[in-house]
Amino acid sequence: MHGVSRSTTCRVIHRVAGALYNRKHEIIKFPCSDDEVTDQQTNFYKIAHFPKVVGAVDGTHVYLHGAPLGPDEHVYINRKGRYSINVQLICDYRFKITNCVARWPGSTHDSRILQNSIVGHEFIRGNLHGILLGDSGYALQPWIMTPFLNPTNQAERAFNRAHSSTRVLIEQVNGQLKNKFRCLIGHGLQMSPLNAKDVIMACAVLHNLSKDLNQPEVPFQLVDNDEDEIPDPPDGVNGPATRAQIVASFFQ
């Protein structure tokens, strides 16, 4: 897509979005089987010795420019005062997208999107195994680890370093995705949220296909700080207890 104008790229992607959207479940798949979970945990651990990781999660905003938003226009205004869709991305250690949710308006908190996603529901029900890594905008739970906001000792600081070094993969995936498909940056998509969802998902599908084909990544510098400033509260005692156990077992 490099060297092609943003408007041309958007038209091409929109033309094939429907067909690609229908194939999303074939190409964007979360690790579920024992072998898949073991593969993810083993290879994520090699990055910075953070245990049991099966994915890194983050929200990123795709702006809507001149889009028809109807009576719910106000809910698309994000904390930066711009109209957007808040897109949830989860990636694996190979920089492939394993989950993409592109239906929530920009005012929606990252943590709420995860809690209401299929992946979130399956973790809560105990049907998925392992740990997701999220930034401080997510609610700390047994299946999603967030960093210590104010680490008090060397072990907690070591936990944060390993967490950051591993979670950075999702930031790189976000940058790679938007660098490939420039219609997702700048002023954003000039279409309804329903059509924008299809285009975003099509881009995620094409991103994974490019990984399967071993396409090289072009260097980029993406300024996209979408981290929420105010995190949700921890989930009772279970999240902090799980985090404390990880610290004691792996970072002391």
The predicted structure's pLDDT at residue 105: 96
Q: Give pLDDT tens digits for 137-194.
A: 999 999 999 999 999 999 999 999 999 999 999 999 999 999 999 989 988 898 889 9
CA distances (Å), 215 to each of 26, 77, 210, 218, in order? 20, 35, 5, 10
Inter-residue contact 173 to 89 (CB < 8 Å): yes
pTM of the shown model: 0.88
Length of the chain: 252
- By mean pLDDT, which of 39-53, 72-86, 197-211, 226-240 is the weakest? 226-240
Encode 7-35: b = buried (16+ Cβ within 10 Å), e = exposed: eebbeebbeebeebbeebeebbebbeeee
